[in-house]
Amino acid sequence: MSGHSHYATIKREKEANDAARGKTFSKLAKEIAIAVKTGGGGDPDSNFKLRMVMDKAREVNMPKDNVERAIAHATSTAEAIEEVSYEGFGPSGVAVMVVAATDNRNRTAQEIKNIFDRAGGRLGGPGSVSFNFENKGFLLVEKDADPESQMLKLIDLGVEDVNETPDGIEVYVQPDKLSQTKKSLEETGFKVTSAEISMEAKSYQTISDPKEASKVMSFLDLLNDHDDVQQVYSNADIVNV
């Protein structure tokens, strides 16, 4: 969709610029703990979630020592850290899903609520916006000189959807096909720079007014910058103006 930017794409560009921040490493350490807790252990060869987190750690150049310490520490801290989700509406009524990793559910819930309230939005109950989102396997493929041919080849390989963005070609598959698709793409010669389970909106809300777009982006960035927040998903579709 030329001229449009979904928040997930904008957020990835921002994360690339902020990759050296210690906050990024801290969030990844929590994500490692969750992966160890829910994925069956600290062996990345048999723990798909942990393997994906390890890939993300490499993408942002997280030092190997930090990764190893996080895995070792996860065994003792994973029980204290839990993954929680919040959903609600932000400026311009955009639907938002927030995934956090916290050792204090009440504190995190109140802080997330405050961010929504200050932006003129509101938290919703379970199911208030989640019906408009679905889990998808997401891969980001590095572009070459002929991205159009790349996308045609990807479609021929059986992926569900592709989308060219400034930072690469987004590829979407069913969640249970993510690992095999990543392997197949790499064997075919594609360079996969990111792979994760994502939540994609079924329908998007277009925002073309510059002031409203700025409010929405500031709100989503505040959520994303919260220490406990791991992922922010929105149906905001920002039109370049």
| Cα–Cα distance for residue pair 100/81, rounded to 1 Å | 10
The third-level CATH classification (topology) of the domain covering 83-131+202-239 is: Alpha-Beta Plaits (3.30.70)
More confident residue, 85 or 41: 85
Query: Considering all CA atoms of the chain, what is the largest pairwise distance in Å, rounded to the nearest integer?
Result: 50
What pLDDT score was predicted for residue 162? 93
Q: Flag whether pLDDT at 196 surpasses 70.
A: yes
Phi and psi torsions of 31, nearest 5°: -65, -35
SS3 state at 233: strand
Instruction: Assess whether pLDDT exceeds 90 at residue 234.
Output: yes
Give the residue-averaged pLDDT of 138-151.
94
User: Encoding tokens for residue 218?
Assistant: 């500031």
**Looking at the predicted structure, is the pLDDT value of residue 77 above 60?**
no
Tokens 């932006």, residue?
119
Mean pLDDT along residues 215-240 = 91
Averaged pLDDT for residues 202-208: 92
Average pLDDT of the residues in 16-25? 65
Tell me whether domains 4-77 and 83-131+202-239 share a fold: no
* Residue 1, pLDDT score: 35
Q: Is the pLDDT of residue 141 over 90?
A: yes
Query: pLDDT higher for 106 or 11?
Result: 106
- Residue 21 pLDDT > 70, yes or no? no
Mean pLDDT of the chain: 86
8-state DSSP, 159: -
Q: Is the pLDDT of residue 10 over 50?
A: yes
Q: What mean pLDDT do residues 37-52 have?
A: 74
Residue 13 pLDDT level (bands cut at 50, 70, 90): low
DSSP 50: H
Identity (one letter) of the amino acid at 14? Answer: K
Give the pLDDT score at 108.
97
How far apart are alpha carbons 181 and 157 in whole angstroms?
9
CATH topology of domain 4-77: Arc Repressor Mutant, subunit A (1.10.10)
Residue 48 confidence (pLDDT) above 60 = yes
Least confident of 78-87, 173-182, 203-212: 78-87
Report, as an integer, the average pLDDT of 154-164: 93
Is CATH 3.30.70.980 correct for 133-201? yes
Closest CA to 119 of 221, 230, 6, 199: 221
Q: Domain boundaries in the chain? A: 4-77, 83-131+202-239, 133-201
pLDDT range class, residue 59, cuts 50, 70, 90? confident
Strands in 122-124's sheet, in edge-to-edge order, are 122-124, 82-89, 95-102, 229-234
Residue 28 pLDDT class (50, 70, 90 cuts): confident
- pLDDT-based confidence at 19, cuts 50/70/90? low
